[in-house]
Structure 1
């Protein structure tokens, strides 16, 4: 009986951890994506270089990188190495890389 309870507790902890990871995922609606794409085309930025930073979802950008607002979207953008990057301004983590 004790072994069964331990297994159930371990499974519950594992599922709680999976839920916590999923809660951190950022979902961009198709409407937001369209707004960002159109705005970025109309408001081009000069590309910046950030040595040692890989452009991957989840990578945090340094505080020295200026993030630019997109109207009606809570996320910000910047162009790095000629690629537009959408960033969560609270965490400064990349949430989407546009090609």
Structure 2
């Protein structure tokens, strides 16, 4: 029994580490964030309200919310409650809220 316990503990720790790595948020590179901010300043959007959606990193935006392109950047943006929100267009998940 003593021989198997350390192996089981190590296996559980390994699985926990894999789960934690998979749950990490997407990080926008500083260069891309600068491109997004500059583009949004030149192309301002009206702020929208989305009832029932908490504006947090990881929140999923409904399909009814129109996401706007930024040239040469994978991510999309929308302005919600006067905050610029960067969204992964594949999952519609909020990856950053920029004030």
Q: Is the TM value for this pair above 0.5?
A: yes
Query: CA offsets, 1:39-90, max 9 Å, x none?
Result: 0000001111100111111000000000000011000000111111110000
CA RMSD of aligned residues (A): 1.1
**TM-score relative to the length of structure 1:** 0.91
Aligned residues: 97
User: Which has the larger share of helix?
Assistant: 1
1:74 matched residue in structure 2? 74
2:15 matched residue in structure 1? 13
Gap runs ≥5 in structure 1: none
C-alpha displacement at 1:12, in angstroms?
Answer: 1.8
**TM-score relative to the length of structure 2:** 0.91
Alignment of 1:1-99 (within 5 A): 1-22=3-24, 25-99=25-99
User: Which has the larger share of strand?
Assistant: 1
After TM superposition, the runs of 4+ consecutive aligned structure 1 residues lying more than 4 A away are: none
Gap runs ≥5 in structure 2: none
